[in-house]
Structure 1
Amino acid sequence: MARDLAQSLQAGEHPQYELSIQVIEPDQFATLPFDPFDPTAIWPADQFKIQRIGLLTLERSPDDVRTELDSARFQPENVIPGIEHVPAPSQKQGDDFSQVQQYLRSLGEFSRHRLIDNLSEELLRVPPLLLEQVLILFSRADLEFGQAMTLALGG
């Protein structure tokens, strides 16, 4: 992908990407069934509308990557007014698996078997103690999926 992007820019093309956001009001945080600051969480689009805010156009590659990236690096004092820093991860006890469970249950039979086959093939290389922990987590996310993974791994 990086090579394709570099070749497009060298050919004089200007790749564009739609820039969209979802907004949650601070008073909604306490009632959410997920941590909105979890980068793996998917916010429901029907509850938090996706708002297009612009178009990102790449016009060139950096001339000096190190210099340009260093100057563009995140610095805490460079915050847009009205946008706040992400708070430290909370220690709240909650359901960390509902989105995974919804995803696993939404898979068709073929996709589910393919996922199990691919995961079990990779997990055969994992040390037994770690494998046991992974299977426990799969079972917490979805008991049926955890059992299928255990069977696929010969358990």
Structure 2
Amino acid sequence: MSDEQSTKNAPLDELSFTVMGYISKSPHETFEAVAEPKQLSKYFTTGGAHGRLAPGAEVTWDFADFPGRFPVEVIDSVQDEKIVVAWAGTEHATAENTTTTFEFSPVDDGTRTLVTVTEQSWKTTVGGAEGAFGNCMGWTGMLAALKAWIEYGIDLREGFYK
């Protein structure tokens, strides 16, 4: 059996997912639209984002359509390249925290950006799958809302979830 075949047949220990999309702005502009709380509040955190996504910052996200302010820990941030965040996991997580990584890759000589969002730490249970699929939907929506906001100034999230 080849290494590739044995990997395909290996037991699944954790659920994770990756979503991605192209933004017609530079990596710097796109990174700032995610890292800067005033911008993030315009298209994603309908109740507001507080604190820049920088290591050591006190950051919270609030969603008017899913009430409650969520503390967000910034694990890593590399300007214009990557942001890694975590927040308290649920009973359906494989770790104490659920971790999400945003990667910003230049495309077309830096005039566009491929944004990749990867989340991990979900158990291979019904509850873990529901959490992972729900968050996958959320991050896909976030990328679409980011694109609409940064390219056209349109808030897609307004009224979307209620």
Q: TM-score, normalised by structure 1?
A: 0.19
- Between 1 and 2, higher relative CO (CA 8 Å, sep ≥ 6) is seen in 2
Higher-strand-fraction structure: 2
Q: TM-score, normalised by structure 2?
A: 0.18
Structure 1 or 2, whichever has the larger Rg, is 1
Higher-helix-fraction structure: 1
